[in-house]
Chain A
Amino acid sequence: MVCASALAIIISLIFGLARLSKNRVVLGVAAVYIEFFRGTSLLIQLYWIYYVLPLLIDLSLDAFYAGFIALGLNFGAYGAEVVRGSIQAVPRSQWEAAKALNMPSFLQMRRIIIPQTFPHLLPPASNLLVELLKATALVSLISVTDLMFESKVFNQTYWMSLQVFGTALIIYYVLARFILTPFLRWLEILAARKVGKRIVG
């Protein structure tokens, strides 16, 4: 989960920015990548990376790596759209003002644009992270020993599906509802306050 979200965040930043590029080639590559991964389902990507890739280019991935790469690539594509939307939500005048002050474009991005994207970025991004947590259950299908996989093993050993899958459901619920969501809510409030302060100060 942590590995996959780290990968997803990096990918979404890169492709979110690429999606806004003026370079046709960069733009095209980013658009194809995003449409491809958003257009097919995660399970198919997972199977493809785990079962088909080794046949094609003789690159055999451990189930865990295949799982986290598939999750990262899939959610990176969704995240890239979120990044793009939040950058486009920054008012045009901010870009113009930064240009008027003769800021180099890197500094423009880092000091002016990126900090202002956070309040727009975080609510959809936290939704995606909860989705990612739930999607990790899928990696059990390529035999990564996650919570879901362990529950299936227990179920086969003890034949108590109510207890086993019920417990699994409750664990996911507690993780999402009482740990991940409050933490992300706190981040959102923090970001809103930071930006608010900066405008006032």
Chain B
Amino acid sequence: MAWRWEFAFEILPQLLWGTLYTLMAAGIGYAIAVVVGLIFLIGQRTPIVILNRITREVVEFIRSTPLLVQLFFVFFVAPQFGIKLAAWTAAMVTIGLHYGSYLSEVYRGALEAVPKQQWEASKALNFTTIRTYGRIILPQAFPVALPGMSNYLIGIFKDTPMLATIGVVELMQSANTVGSLTYRFLEPYTMVGVIFLIISLPAAMALRKLERTVARRQGMTKE
């Protein structure tokens, strides 16, 4: 089967719509994950031991099971308990929880990377907790957390094709539809690959640049 350009151009608009939904899914998923990550982080840092343990184990569990299985679990099991989730909602919930648990580890590492003396100095200056976090700790933790955070943003983007399996109409699903309508799989799947490459490589480069800028502004030298 040879490559046909006219067919490729014909299906391009449909795939670009799919791309838009893919980007949307990645964006919303990431926004949820950032918040969920914070909740997990707070759960892991509470002085209440039992809550602490439970959060740790939940994060560990989510991190060591595949996203695809979680997706199926949420999508097919929730209706059994009378919760009807649309494919989009189920997908966003799962991605938010999955990547939230990864992000909470990133946050934790970043907070632990801030030297202990910084905490002690803030205490010595009689700063309030909010001021300690807002003015001293978070500005220093942020450049450390940024590379991990941007990696997972791209990670989410690359995991969105999985959403096609529960029927979310994004890029992969549009390629599947085109393929099964026309019996031509060569062009759609190849173009999906190329579109992913076109988006993810410049995005990765832009994020690297952002990381360097932030690190420089903090007076931290990278490399």
Listed A/B pairs (13) with beta-carbon separation below 8 Å? A39-B196, A39-B204, A40-B196, A44-B193, A47-B189, A48-B189, A52-B185, A137-B68, A148-B66, A148-B72, A155-B72, A172-B65, A172-B69
Query: B69–A165 contact, CB under 8 A?
Result: yes
List A residues at the B interface (Cβ < 8 Å). 35-36, 39-45, 47-48, 51-52, 55-56, 130, 134-138, 140-141, 148, 151-152, 155, 161-162, 165-166, 168-169, 172-173, 176-177, 181
Q: Does B220 lie at the interface of the complex (its beta carbon under 8 Å from any beta carbon of A)?
A: no
Complex CA gap A35/B109 in Å reads: 27
Most central of B179, B190, B193, B204 by chain A CB within 10 Å: B193
**Is the CB–CB distance between B159 and A41 below 8 Å?**
yes
For B, the interface residue count at a CB cutoff of 8 angstroms equals 34
A51 to B178, CA, bound (A): 14
Do most interface residues of chain A lie in helix, strand or loop, or is the interface mixed? helix
Contact B72 A40 (CB under 8 A): no
Q: Which residues of A contact B64 (CB under 8 A)?
A: 130, 134, 172-173, 176-177, 181
Q: When chains A and B are docked, how far (Å) is the Cα of A36 from the Cα of B61?
A: 31
Q: Which has the most chain A C-beta neighbours within 10 Å: B73, B165, B190?
A: B73
Q: Collect the chain B residues with CB atoms within 8 Å of residue A155's CB.
A: 72, 76
Min CB gap B54→A, angstroms: 15
Pairs A-B, 8 closest by C-beta atoms: A176-B64, A161-B76, A137-B66, A41-B158, A134-B66, A165-B73, A55-B1, A43-B161
Q: A39-B196, A138-B68 are in contact. Are A44 and B161 (CB under 8 A)?
A: yes
Contacts of A40 in B (CB 8 A): 158, 193, 196-197, 200
- Within the complex, the shortest CB–CB distance from A82 to chain B, in Å, comes to 14
Task: Decide if B169 is an interface residue (CB 8 Å cutoff).
Answer: no
Q: How far is the CB of B135 from chain A (nearest CB, A)?
A: 34
Known contacts A52-B189, A141-B68, A177-B64; 9 additional CB pairs below 8 A are A39-B201, A47-B189, A48-B189, A135-B66, A137-B67, A138-B68, A161-B73, A166-B77, A176-B65
A136: nearest residue on chain B (CB-CB)?
A: B66
Complex interface: chain B residues within 8 A of A44 (CB): 161, 172, 189, 192-193, 196
Check B77–A161 contact: CB distance below 8 A: yes
| B206, CB-defined interface residue at 8 Å | no
* Given A40-B197, A134-B67, A173-B186 contact (CB < 8 Å): no
A39 near B200: Cβ-Cβ < 8 Å: yes
- B128 part of interface (Cβ distance < 8 Å): no
A108 to chain B, nearest CB (A): 25
Contact A148 B190 (CB under 8 A): no
Point out the residue from A35, A45, A56, A151 that lies within 8 Å of B1, measured CB to CB.
A56
**Which residues between 175 and 194 of chain B lie within 8 Å of chain A, taking CB atoms?**
179, 185-186, 189-190, 192-193
Contact partner of A169 (CB less than 8 A), chosen from B70, B76, B80, B160, is B70
Within the assembled complex, what's the spacing in Å between the Cα atoms of A43 and B60?
Answer: 24
A166 touches B162 (CB 8 A): no
* Chain A CB within 10 Å, residue with most, of B66, B77, B80: B66
Complex contact A41–B196 (CB within 8 A): yes
**Contact, CB under 8 Å: A138 / B193:** no
Return A195 CB to nearest CB of chain B, in Å.
25
Is the pair B172, A165 in contact by a Cβ cutoff of 8 Å?
no
- With beta carbons under 8 angstroms apart, the residue of B66, B67, B77, B190 that contacts A52 is B190
* In the complex, chain A residues whose CB is within 8 Å of the CB of B77: 161-162, 165-166
Contacts of B80 in A (CB 8 A): 161-162
Shortest CB-to-CB span from A53 to chain B, Å, is 10
- CB pair B186 A56 closer than 8 Å: yes
Residue ID in chain B nearest A164 by CB atoms: B76
Chain B min CB distance to A176 (Å): 4
**Distance (Å) between the CB of A42 and the closest chain B CB?**
8
| Cβ contact within 8 Å between A172 and B66 | yes
Question: Chain B: which residue is nearest A181 at the CB level?
Answer: B64
Q: Please state if A165 and B162 are interface contacts (CB–CB under 8 Å).
A: no
